[in-house]
Each structure stands twice: as C-alpha cells, then as structure tokens.
Amino acid sequence: MARVRKTTVGSVFMQVPFVFYSLTIVAMCFILIVTPFRSGDDLARGLLVRPTAFGLGNFRDAFASGLGDGVRNSLTLSVLTCLFTIVFGGIAGYAASFMRFRFRRGLASFMNACIYVSTMLIALPLFLQYRDLHLVNSIIGALLIFLGLRLPFSVYLFKSYFDEFSIELIEAAKMDGVSDMRIFWRIVFPLSKGVVITVLLFNFSAVWTDYLIGLLFLQQDRLMTIMPKIMYIFGSGPMVTHATSLGQGFAGLFVATVPIVVIYFFTKKYYVEGLTLGSLK
C-alpha cells in the first residue's frame, strides 16, 4: 500500500513542471488574443487583469504605421515560396524516387545535407554577395534565398512520401508510353495531397514568421516583411525612430498569427497524413 502511495506522489510531482508550462501557454494565449483589443489606458492596469473595454483602434493604428505593407510583402514571399517548392520539390522528389540516372544518390544526399545549413551561418556572406549583385531590397532576391533554404526539406518530404508509392503503378504507366512528367502530373501529384499540404504548412510558416532574412535583405520601409515591421511597431527594432503603444504591437502579432492558425485548421487532416504516411514501411 505504501508503495502505491509513493508512486502516486512521484507521478504528481513529475506533472508539476508541465502544469506550470501549460499555465504559461494559457497566459500567453490570453495576452495575444485580448491585448490587441484593449486601449492604452486599459493596458496600463496590467496585461493579465480583466479588460474593461474593447475596440479596434490598435489595429487601425498598426496598419497606419505600415503593417499592411509587411502583410503584403510576407504574403507575396510566402505564397511564391510555397508554389515553387511544391512544384520543383515534387518534381525533384519524383526523380529521386522513380528515375534512374547517374549521381542520383549523391544528389539526394547533397539535398539532405542542405537541410542542416544554418541561416545564421550564411547570412553575412550572403548579404555581402547580394550587396555586390545589387539584390538587397529586392523581393526577387529575398525569394531566391527562401527557395534555397526551403527547397531541400521540401524535396526530402516529397521523396519520403513517393518512396511508399506502388512502383508497379509507375511501371505500368511507362509501359503504356506515358512520359515521366505526365505520370507525375496525372497520377502521382493528384494522390499526394497529404505531402503537398505538409510542405505548404512548413514553408508558409517558415517564410511568414521569418525575421532575419527580412531584416537584412529588405531594409526599405515599403519592402519590410511582417515580423520586422511588427518589431518596428513595438518600438524595439534597429531602425526605430519613434515608440508606439503596446497594443499596436500585439495587434500586429495577432494579424501575423491568424493566417497560420486558419491554414492549419482547414488542412490539419492532410498535414498529419503527410507526416505519417512517409514513415510507414
């Protein structure tokens, strides 16, 4: 009997850190959801106190401070990155799984190794090269960086997913004279909704929430992405010329969070499918 009591106490004690962690998550969600709708006078009472009034003034002021430009630029980069990584990542994954050519394994290993390249490690030499090539403050230049960073992982996900396809289906289509590109677009790609959604979520989230690339390579105010723009609104960015209210900054964070939550809510079924099917053997 004493042994059972000791085990129970130990189990409860082990749960204490997780309870505190859960409470911090709940508190942060409360702050993120409620703070953007509170006035400056109400926020002066504290972040965790019960609000007394709600309004949309913080959102209006945040967009007046340029948040709309950040949303537009980040959305452009995120959508284009997802589009190109899905198309080219899918084609490269198909080639690595079903086509036979020289250096196929070597190229696949090289792409896998590129996944581990640190953005912080290459930021400075890449910035110097972009400066010499006059690609700083260019949406196309930033897009090329995001494609280089996100494409290797996209190829890996597609290849892992395609490795589980029935090779007999591919060979039967080839025996009927169907080209590889038509097999990919007509047979393989329509059956790959799970991995497509997974790549979409990973890449959209990575580009949408990026801070470093946007800060270094898109320094003009009209070209800033959403995360540097939010830091500017908060009054803590490196190019700040004025301080603004806390509510406007949290309004920017709220706007930045909504697209990811909405996309995940409508695609979570296929997201889980894309993560699990590639691991089944």
Domain ranges of the chain: 2-55, 60-277
Q: Hey, what are 39's tokens?
A: 């006035």
CA distance linking residue 16 with residue 9, whole number of Å: 11
241 pLDDT higher than 50: no
**Higher pLDDT residue, 252 or 48?**
252
In degrees to the nearest 10, what's the CA dihedral of 157, 161, 162, 163?
110
60-277 architecture in CATH? Orthogonal Bundle (1.10)
Categorize the per-residue pLDDT at 280 as very low, low, confident or very high, splitting at 50, 70 and 90: very low
* Rounded Cα distance, 208 and 224, in Å: 12
Using 50, 70 and 90 to split pLDDT, how confident is the model at 244? low
CA distance 188 to 181: 10
- Radius of gyration of the chain measured on its C-alpha atoms: 24
Instruction: Please report the pLDDT score of residue 266 as a whole number.
Output: 82
pLDDT score of 272 more than 70: no
Residues 12-22 pLDDT 10s = 677 888 888 88
Q: Is the pLDDT of residue 4 over 60?
A: no
Please report the pLDDT score of residue 277 as a whole number: 54
Tokens representing 280?
A: 């089944």
pLDDT at 242 over 70: no
Map 140-151 to HEC letters. Answer: HHHHHHHHHHHH
Separation of alpha carbons 66 and 232, rounded Å: 9
**Confidence label for 281 from pLDDT (cuts 50, 70 and 90):** very low
Selected residue with higher pLDDT from 265 and 11: 265
Residue whose entry in the numeric block shows the structure tokens 């190019």: 239
